[in-house]
Amino acid sequence: MVAPTSAASSYLLSPVVERLGFGPVTFTVADTLDMVAQGILPEDSSVELLNGVLVYRDRFDLKEGEIVAGAQHDFVVTALSKLSLSIDNDSRHLRTQATLVCSERHAPIPDAFVLRGGVRDYTDRLPAASDAWCVIEVAGSSYERDAGEKLAGYARASIQQYVIVNLNNRTAEIYTNPDPAAGTYAAPQVVHEGQSLSLRIGESEFFTFVLGGILP
């Protein structure tokens, strides 16, 4: 520990901390982007902003009750990314593990989501919740967060279709009809691995495939 100096004015708070004051520190999307630009945070998908708090993303799976490296999670994300070959056109495209701004203090990194417009429509801004047709999270050990804090955040942001691919029981939970004020959705439709999963890719368009095709 460095000994304190006699001149209190020699200790300067960072601009973010100085503005937020003392006590629990929360951040905005602008704060987070500034810290990435300064090299304080990594410019990758390892950290996300949830309700003003910077958290490490859970990339692990559960196997026989134990947490293991997320090979199954990575498999499903890769399988989802390949759906872009069938989904993408000039009016929509699929992204994986990229930031989605839901509010000033909530910018999760979904495992996949389908956006309005082409890739070049987002060269100078991050996509917002209003740009997303659907959002997908792949849940192993992260299920509690995905079905709790993240679900509430997507509902508050009026995401019209939120899908949790649940690795624990090899199902997908489809949430629709968000209540932004309450941060809730209607009871989910549960799709089993031999059944068809339909992702919302337009106002009244859906892309349908067998869930088992993206499961390890």
29 found inside a domain: no
Which DSSP string do the residues of 88-149 spell out, in sequence order?
-BTTEEEEES---B-BTTBB---SEEEEES-GGGGSSS--BGGGEEEEEEEESTTHHHHTTH
| Residue 75 structure tokens | 């498999």
CA distance 143 to 155: 16
Q: Which pLDDT score is estimated for 56? A: 86
**Model confidence at 192, in pLDDT bands (50, 70, 90)?**
very high
Question: CATH number of the domain that 128 lies in?
Answer: 3.90.1570.10
pLDDT tens track for 96-139: 999 999 999 999 999 999 999 999 999 999 999 999 999 999 99
User: Does residue 205 fall inside a structural domain?
Assistant: yes
Domains held by the chain: number: 1
Residue 144 above 70 pLDDT? yes
How many other CB atoms are found less than 10 A from the CB of residue 54?
A: 15
- Domain membership of residue 17 (yes or no) is no
For 53, the 3-state DSSP assignment is strand
On whether residue 193 sits in a domain, the answer given is yes
pLDDT in tens, 28-59: 999 999 888 888 888 877 889 999 999 888 76
Contact status, residue 116 vs residue 91, Cβ threshold 8 Å? yes
14/183 Cα distance (integer angstroms): 34
pLDDT reported for residue 19: 57
Task: Check if the beta carbon of residue 73 is closer than 8 Å to that of residue 61.
Answer: yes
| HSE value, Cβ hemisphere, 13 Å, CA-based, for 122 | 21
Q: Is residue 117 part of a domain?
A: yes
- Give the DSSP letter string of 150-174: HHHHHHHTT-SEEEEEETTTTEEEE
Expressed as residue numbers, the domain containing 124 is 55-214
* Distance spanning both ends of the chain, measured CA to CA: 49
What confidence tens digit (pLDDT) does each residue in 57-107 have?
A: 876 555 555 555 578 999 999 999 999 999 999 999 999 999 999 999 999
Q: Residue 111 in contact with residue 77, Cβ under 8 Å?
A: yes
DSSP secondary structure code for residue 184 in this structure: B
Q: The whole model's pTM is what?
A: 0.84
Helix (H) or strand (E) holding 30: helix 29-37
Pick from 31-40, 122-131, 147-156, 201-210: least confident: 31-40
> What pLDDT digit, counting tens, does each position of 164-183 carry?
999 999 999 999 999 999 99
3 domain-assigned: no
pLDDT score for 2: 32
Question: Would residue 208 count as lying in a domain?
Answer: yes
- Residue located via tokens 């009871």: 187
Per-residue pLDDT band at 6 (split at 50, 70, 90) = very low
Predicted confidence at residue 3, as pLDDT, reads 37
Q: Is the residue at 162 inside a domain?
A: yes
- The token pair at 148 is 């709790």
How far is Cα 84 from Cα 69, in angstroms, rounded to an integer? 26
